[in-house]
Amino acid sequence: MQYAFPLLAIFIWAGNTVINKMAVGAIFPAEIGFYRWLLAGLLFTPFMLKPVIAHWSQIRPNLGRIFVLGVLGMAVYQSLAYFAATLTSATNMGIILSLMPLMSLALAILSLGQRLTAGALVGALLSFAGVLVVVSSGSLATLLTHGVNLGDAMMLIATLAYAIYSTLLKKWQLRLPPLVLLYLQVLVAVVVLFPLFWLSPKVGPNLHNVGLVLYACLLASMLAPLAWMRSVATLGPSRTTLFFNLLPLITALIAAVVLHEELALYHLLGGTLTLGGVILSERWTTPLRRTGS
For residues 184, 188, 191, 195, the Cα torsion angle rounded to the nearest 10 degrees is: -160
Three-class DSSP category at 34: helix
pLDDT of 167 > 80? The answer is yes
- Whether residue 292 lies inside any domain: the answer is no
- Whether residue 289 lies inside any domain: the answer is no
Q: What is the pLDDT of residues 5-18, one digit of tens each?
A: 888 988 999 899 89
Residues with Cβ within 8 Å of residue 10, at least 6 apart in sequence:
243, 244, 246, 247, 250
- Whether residue 172 lies inside any domain: the answer is yes
pLDDT of 215 > 90? The answer is yes
Tell me how far apart the alpha carbons of residues 176 and 223 are, in angstroms, rounded to a whole number: 19
| Beta carbons of 248 and 236 less than 8 angstroms apart | no
* CB atoms near residue 179 (< 10 Å): 16
Q: What is the mean pLDDT of residues 175-181?
A: 89
Radius of gyration of the chain (CA): 19
| Beta carbons of 237 and 101 less than 8 angstroms apart | no
pLDDT band, residue 146 (cuts 50/70/90)? low
pLDDT for position 96: 82
Three-class DSSP category at 117: strand
Amino acid at 132: L
Q: What is the pLDDT of residues 51-80, one digit of tens each?
A: 999 999 999 999 999 999 999 988 998 889
- Whether residue 125 lies inside any domain: the answer is yes
Q: What total number of domains does the chain contain? A: 1
Q: What is the pLDDT of residues 224-247, one digit of tens each?
A: 888 887 887 787 666 677 677 778
Q: Nearest CA to 219 among 77, 48, 2, 11?
A: 11
Tell me how far apart the alpha carbons of residues 93 and 88 are, in angstroms, rounded to a whole number: 7
pLDDT band, residue 290 (cuts 50/70/90)? low
- Whether residue 291 lies inside any domain: the answer is no
pTM, entire model: 0.82
Three-class DSSP category at 229: helix
Which DSSP letter does residue 289 get?
P
- Structural domain containing residue 31: 4-283
| Beta carbons of 162 and 100 less than 8 angstroms apart | yes
- Whether residue 222 lies inside any domain: the answer is yes
- Whether residue 293 lies inside any domain: the answer is no
- Whether residue 290 lies inside any domain: the answer is no
